[in-house]
Structure 1
Amino acid sequence: MELIRGIHNIRTQHYGCVLTIGNFDGVHLGHAEVLNGLLNDAKKYNLPSTVMLFEPQPQEFFAKDNAPARLTRLRDKLRLLAKLGIERVICISFNQQFANMQAEQFVTEILINKLGVKALTVGDDFRFGKRRQGDFNLLTKMGQAAHMDVKSTASFRQLNARVSSTLIRQALAEGQLAQAKAMLGHDYAISGRVIHGWKRGRKLGFRTANIALKRQVCPVNGVFAVQVTLNDKTVYGVANIGNKPTFNGTRALLEVHLFDFAQDIYGQFMHVELIKKLRDEKKFETLTQLTAQIATDVAAAKQCFGLN
């Protein structure tokens, strides 16, 4: 899959495509419906299937720390989009200059002149341009004049409820991992490179591999039984996601204790799937209490995987 970073990197060879636009946060089953329509258009017109998304996501740009918790970072989005068969992703830097672009200018200069979009698939609630003045009706009107087929994909429905990133965030916040998985189409996961932490875990007898949560708000918090992919191998463990209140931590962190594992993996990439929530994160008065609780968590996670 080809990644184009920024409007300035769109070249003449990228002219001619079928396109969909959105955040695709989580790349859930609702998104899969939109993307299936895109892939069908790609076959129909014999043109590359192309996804346009934004970094940061628009709500993160405007609302900062008050933005909804992000489900997936860019790397995870790209992995999931590639798995669905998308050929090309255009990642637009969402900054003040882009936010000030008029809706008509966006359609004319980027969609028509730069990309030569033959078919455009967007959600029925898609809004764009300065002050969100652009909508589906504008796209349809301008598309007709440019011979660009514009169509809306109806919201995917499951159990009579709309599949959305908002509902997935709610399920994750409530610890309903099975419900989130049903909407995502896969287990919710966090991935990243292992960093050096405080090394408190090894002093307590439970070494951890740590991943910094580089997002403004995290959608999950607590202790989980996890399945980890590391160097193409599967390892099981127990993870804490939060701010380590017992140690008065302030930075959100994913800490994973891997069962029967003692390798040095600093700097390596780790993919962590949350399988079952064991409990909420809490502050303990003593390290003895914390150590006892971790031992209980380890036993519960091992039982989840049939490892006891």
Structure 2
Amino acid sequence: MELVRGLHNLSPDHAGCVLTIGKFDGVHKGHQAVLLNLREKAKQLKLPAVVMVFEPQPEEVFTPQSAPARLTTLRDKIELLTAQGIERLVVVRFNAAFASQSPETFIHDLLVDKLGVKFLVVGDDFRFGKQRTGDFSMLEQAGKAQGFDVVSTASFRLADCRISSTAIREALHNSDFELAADMLGRPFVFTGKVIHGEKKGRTIGFPTANMRMNRCSTPLKGVFAVRVQVNGDTYKGVANIGQRPTLNGERMQLEVHIFNFNASLYGQVIRVIPEAKIRPEKKFASFDALKKQIVLDACEAQTLLASM
């Protein structure tokens, strides 16, 4: 899949496509149905199937404190869209300047001039342009005038499809990982690069691989029994996702202790799959109290994972 980062990297060679615009957060089964139909339409028209996403997502710019937790990072999204057979991903830098352009400019300059769209798939609630004044009806009218078709993602989804990113976040909040996996078409996973931490875990026999949560918020917080994928191998472990209140932590991160694993993982990308929630994150009266709880958490994680 070709990745186009930023509108300045679009060239005349990119004109002519079948396009869908959306968040595609999670690239779940509902999204996959849309993408399958998009590919079929692209094949009929002998044009590339193209996805456009905004980065960061609009809510993360305008209302960061209430923006929904992401199910997938951009890295994950690229990998998943590639697996769906999408030929090109256009990542538009979303900021105040981009949001302030008129809807007419968005249609004429981007969709028509730069992308040469021939078939467009968007949600019927899609809004764009200054003060979100552009809507589905405006796109339909522009399509008739400029020679491209516009359809709603609803017509491209599975029949009676109730899958949504919101429903998946709710399933994760309820620790229903089986339901979340069913809607996603795969287990929910945290993917990231291992960074250096404060190394306090190793002083009590529980060294951790630390992953920074580069998201406005995370769909999961607390202590979990997990499986960890490292270089194609899968291990069992216990993970804390949160801000480590006992240690006065401020940034959101994931810390995972991998059972029976001693190799260094710094700088490597790992995948952490939550299997069961053990408890919420809490602040303990002392580091000694935290140490005792970590031992109990590890024992419970091993018991839960052994039963799965």
Q: TM-score, normalised by structure 2?
A: 0.94
Once the two structures are TM-superposed, the CA of residue 161 in structure 1 deviates from its matched residue by: 7.3
1:224 is aligned to 224
Moved more, 213-222 or 277-286: 277-286
Kept in 1: contact 2:194–2:267 (CA 8 A): yes
Tell me, in whole angstroms, the C-alpha distance in 2 between the residues paired with 1:233 and 1:87: 30
Matches of residues 90-239 of structure 1 in structure 2 within 5 Å? 90-154=90-154, 156=157, 162-239=162-239
**Partner SS, residue 24 of structure 2:** coil
Contact kept, 8 Å, 1:171 with 1:179, in 2: the verdict is yes
Between the aligned partners of 1:297 and 1:161, the Cα distance in structure 2 is 38
1:57 is aligned to 57
TM-fit CA distance, 1:181: 1.9
What are the superposed Cα offsets for residues 169-198 of structure 1, whole Å, 9 maximum, x if unpaired? 222223222222222222111111111111
**SS in structure 2 at match of 1:193:** strand
Quick one: which amino acid aligns to residue 187 of structure 1?
P
Contact 2:193 2:267 in 1 (8 A): yes
Is the contact made by 1:177 and 1:277 (CA closer than 8 Å) also made in structure 2?
Answer: no
- Calculate the aligned-residue CA RMSD, in Å: 1.9
- Post-superposition offset of 1:81: 0.8
Per-residue deviation, 1:285: 2.0
Query: In structure 2, what is the Cα distance between the partners aligned to 1:21 and 1:264?
Result: 40
CA displacement, residues 115-145 of structure 1 (integer Å, 9 cap, x when unaligned)? 1111111112211111111111111111122
Matched residue type, 2:18? V
Report the number of matched residues: 307
Alpha-carbon displacement from aligned partner over 1:87-133 (angstroms, at most 9, x marks no partner): 11000000111101111111111111111111111112211111111
Q: Which amino acid aligns with 2:289?
A: Q
**What is the rounded CA distance, in whole Å, between the counterparts of 1:133 and 1:37 in structure 2?**
28
Q: Does 1:71 align with 2:71?
A: yes
Match of 1:194, SS state, is: strand
SS at match of 1:219: coil
1:255 is aligned to 255
Contact 1:34 1:123 in 2 (8 A): no
Q: Give the equivalent residue in structure 2 for 1:14.
A: 14
- How far apart in 2 are the matches of 1:195 and 1:114? 39
Query: Unpaired segments of 5 or more residues in structure 1?
Result: none
Distance in 2 separating the partners of 1:293 and 1:2? 47
Structure 2 unaligned residues grouped into runs of 5+ = none
Q: For 1:235-260, what per-residue CA distance to the aligned partner results, in whole angstroms no more than 9, with x for missing partners?
A: 22111100111112111110010111
Q: In structure 2, what is the Cα distance between the partners aligned to 1:205 and 1:130?
A: 55
| Residue 25 of structure 1, CA deviation | 1.3
Residues 52 and 92, structure 1, Cα contact 8 Å, conserved in 2: yes
Corresponding residue SS for 1:35: helix
User: Following the alignment from structure 1 to structure 2, what is the Cα–Cα distance between the partners of residues 37 and 15?
Assistant: 21
Distance 2:42 2:146 in 1: 18
User: Displacement of 1:270 after TM fit?
Assistant: 1.0
Q: Which amino acid aligns with 1:59?
A: E
The AA in structure 1 aligned to 2:306 is G
Partner of 1:25: 25
The CA distance in 1 between the partners of 2:87 and 2:299, in whole Å, is 44
Q: Counterparts of 2:307 and 2:133 in 1: how far apart (Å)?
A: 56
Cα-to-partner distance string for 1:244-289 (whole Å, 9 max, x where unaligned):
1111211111001011101111111111111222221122223333
- Residues 230 and 271 of structure 2 are in contact (CA less than 8 Å); yes or no, is this contact kept in structure 1? yes
Residues 181 and 307 from structure 1, CA distance in 2 versus in 1: closer, same or farther, beyond 3 angstroms? closer
Aligned to 2:168, the other structure's residue is in SS state helix
**C-alpha distance in 1 between matches for 2:199 and 2:10:** 45
Match of 2:287 in 1: 287
Counting aligned pairs with the same residue, the percent is: 51
Q: So what's the TM-score if we normalise by structure 1?
A: 0.94
- DSSP-derived class of the 2:182 partner: helix
Mapped contact 2:30–2:161 kept (Cα < 8 A): no
